[in-house]
Amino acid sequence: MTSTVLNTADYQPQLDEKAARIQDLLSDFETPELEVFASPAEHYRMRAEFRVWHEGEELYYIMFNQHTREKYRVDQFPAASRLINDLMPMLLDAIKPIKTLRHKLFQVDFLSTLSGEILVSMLYHRQLDDEWTQAAKQLKQRLNDEGFKLNLIGRARKMKIVLDQDFVIEELKVHDKTLTYKQVENSFTQPNGEVAQKMLEWAVDCTRDSAGDLLELYCGNGNFSLALAPNFERVLATELAKPSVDSAQYNIAVNNIENVQIIRMSAEDFTDAMAGKREFRRLKDQNVDLQSYNCNTIFVDPPRSGMDDGTCRMVQGYDNIMYISCNPETLRDNLAILTETHNITRFALFDQFPYTHHMEAGVVLERK
């Protein structure tokens, strides 16, 4: 058996180094004391992708060294959830003797949850047929008989066969509440479930005494929108990716939340709509009257590229700003604009990606 090694003794030093690095990165700004939210030292990743290597009758997972691109065998992956590690060997053992399942299988993707559900996508360099579907159904049944809550997807060029659903239902605890989230294959979800819960709790705490409505840009599947809804009269949220919007609508309904509305728009288009530069039919179609909202607070969770200058200027129009960033360098660039009018009152580091250089940060700003 081959296992990628995590030296858990290195966890705290790497977290301390990140804390020092992000404070140095944002040293040009007046920041309050950094709040640091640690990850579990192992079994923290809810997603994992492995290439599949064929060697005679043998079949095993491989990964590639990021620097040398050399492949190495992986039988266990301590960074991934226990659920993924439990399933990894059983899945391959079940596939090996079945030719139609193993033939030209080149990748397996896992999406797991804290709730116990798991989704497996099997990717092929060939077209899939009825024989594959029947064998995959039997594979799914066999693994569920072993105690897994598993769904399967077969993918090939321009093909996708779903057995029986292409999503998992996650449950995240936010203080004394449990929120339910639909997470769709190949859509963005927070990779570290335990830290995702800490991020939601931090956001709720930061906005607990808020007044008026919340505007959220880049809302994804409504991850933060649902948790923050009780702190505001109404939440108006935007997201461009259709699968994420569909998931957000599902999540609003399943959690019985009545004060959140999701609009499918880019942040840039929404900026134009708020400024009255353009009219958008989709706003009229959804009976969204932007003027009726009393948004004192704006929440942004932009992509790695951060916000463009126009969106930053629009964001400055709100008394309270909460900014979650997966790239502190673009956060620093955006803060150069936002701190012209606002002071940073909360500052947090969330260790979503242990043992890597990646950092997730949160800042709260209030108008000067």
Cα gap 260→283, rounded to integer Å? 15
Beta bridge partners of 350: 37, 360
For residue 96, what are the CA distances in angstroms to 105, 146, 156, 205? 11, 17, 19, 50
Which phi and psi angles does 234 have, rounded to 5°? -145, 155
Q: N- to C-terminal Cα distance for the chain?
A: 59
Cα gap 77→264, rounded to integer Å? 37
DSSP state letters, 116-153: SEEEEEEEESS---HHHHHHHHHHHHHHHHTT-EEEEE
Q: Token match 């039919």: residue?
A: 281
Cα gap 212→295, rounded to integer Å? 6
130 is in an annotated binding site: no
Active-site residue (options: 185, 326, 340, 366): 326
258 is in an annotated binding site: no
Q: What angle do CA 245, 247, 251 make, to 5 degrees?
A: 115
DSSP state letters, 302-329: --TT---HHHHHHHTTSSEEEEEES-HH
223 is in an annotated binding site: yes
61 is in an annotated binding site: no
Sign of CA dihedral 352, 218, 158, 128: positive
Active-site residue (options: 117, 170, 185, 360): 360
Dihedral angle over CA of 265, 266, 271, 276, nearest 10 = -40
Concerning whether 360 is annotated as a catalytic residue, the answer is: yes
294 is in an annotated binding site: no
C-alpha radius of gyration, the chain, whole number: 22
Beta bridge partners of 260: 235
Task: Extract the annotated binding site for S-adenosyl-L-methionine.
Answer: 190, 218, 223, 239, 301
Q: Give the annotated binding-site residues.
A: 190, 218, 223, 239, 301
Catalytic positions: 326, 360
